[in-house]
Each structure stands twice: as structure tokens, then as C-alpha cells.
Amino acid sequence: MTHGPGTGDAGDGRQGRLTRERVLAAALDLVDREGPAALTMRRLGAELGVEAMSLYRYAPGKNALLDGVAEALFLELESHLAAAARPSAASGPTLRAELHRIALVTYQVCLDHPEGTLLIFSRMTRVPLARRPPPVLRGHERVLALIQDAGYDQVHSARIWRAFMAWILGYVSVELQAMVDNPSEPDPAFRLGLHRMSFQELPTLRTTAPALAERGGPDGLTTGLDALLDRFL
């Protein structure tokens, strides 16, 4: 991911001076509304009320903007985690409760920004660790420090971190996968397009598809997380 210059300002937009955070937040909003294909310097400049050239201070091109969308997601995650209540001592072991809190806040941010979240899977996974934006690295640091503060060494904390991240990102990717074939169709079978699938070849998938189309929700997230943590903690 490409880091632009810091959060200094350059030029006035419709709502005041530009900052990197404002530019990336606007990019995330545009991607959420119209998808990554809509994100160009010209279009983003129009959204912010500035000339496209003024945005090159914050991102040198579209690829950097797309990477910046993932950065904006992690900035929002930081903000929500700072605002969300921390677990009390009565809620159980601190490590497990805090991992639950991080997982649930991450889940909600991802579902609030489905198009932007897909860029995490398509772009962030190809970026070497040291080149990821500071908000992403702070997210890694947060979880690793939490685990090691609970008494786990570096090797075991890496295993827990890897399993924790894999579960959250995997769960979210399944929650966000496209399922509906025809949103305007009231009949569930035609809404899911089951008539396009051979019952002879795919009988189990066809009969289970309506259940698969329902999101697992926060309960499914935390139930699976507990099963995972029972193995590692």
C-alpha cells in the first residue's frame, strides 16, 4: 500500500481544508456507493469539490487510492474501538473478552463498508508487513500486545494472532459473498436463482441455499471464535 504524505492540508474542498484522512474517507464512501471502478482522481476531486491534481499530494494514483480505502477502514476501526466499551472484570477472562470486542467491532465496520472491505482481501494481502499503512500495523500490534500481555510467548502469540485474524477475515468474507441472483424477485427460490442449478448434480446445495443465504451474524462470529480460542488459550 502506498503511503501519501502526512495529514498536512493543501487546498480547500467544499467542507474545508483537505487532509489525508478526509480524502481517504471520501474515497471509501465513493467505493461503498458505487464500487471500486468508480474511484478515480477526477471523480474523487468532484466529490470533495477540488481539482483532481490537488489529490496527488495524498495519493499518487488510483492504486494508491484503492490501498487508501483499506487504510480508511482501519482508521474507522480504531475510532470505533476507542468508543466501544471495554469488557469489565465480571465478563470473564480479560483476553477472551477483549478479543470478542475487537472481533465484533471489526465485523460491524466491515459490514458497514462491504465494497471497501473487499479491497482488504484483494489488495492488503499482497502488501509486505512493513509496507502496510500505520493504522493496519497498529491493528496487528493491538492484538499481539493483548495476547502477550496475557502471558503468551512470541511463538504462541503469533499462532493465536494468525488464527484470530484468519477466523475474522474468513467469516466476514463468507458473510459478504454474493448470494442473491434477482433482488426484486419475492419468491425465495427465484430470488436465489436456484432454477439455474441442477438438482440432480447439486441436491444438497440447492436445498441448503436458503439457509446459506442468511448471515451468521455476531452470534456465529463469537461462537466460532470461542471454539477457536478453546484450542489455543
Structural domain includes residue 51: yes
Q: What is the pLDDT of residues 73-116, one digit of tens each?
A: 999 999 999 998 787 655 556 899 999 999 999 999 999 999 99
Contact 30, 47 (CB under 8 A): yes
Is 197 among the domain residues? no
Asked, for residue 46, whether it belongs to a domain, the answer is yes
Q: Which residues pair with 203 in a beta bridge?
A: none
Q: Which residue stretches of the chain have pLDDT < 50?
A: 1-10
For the chain, the domain total comes to: 1
For residue 206, is it within any domain?
no
pLDDT at 173: 95
The answer to the question of residue 29 being in a domain is yes
- Structural domain including 135 reads 12-181+211-232
Q: Does residue 130 lie in a domain region?
A: yes
In a domain, 190, yes or no: no
For residue 26, being part of any structural domain is answered with: yes
pLDDT at 5: 40
54: domain CATH number?
A: 1.10.357.10
Write down the pLDDT at residue 196.
Answer: 95
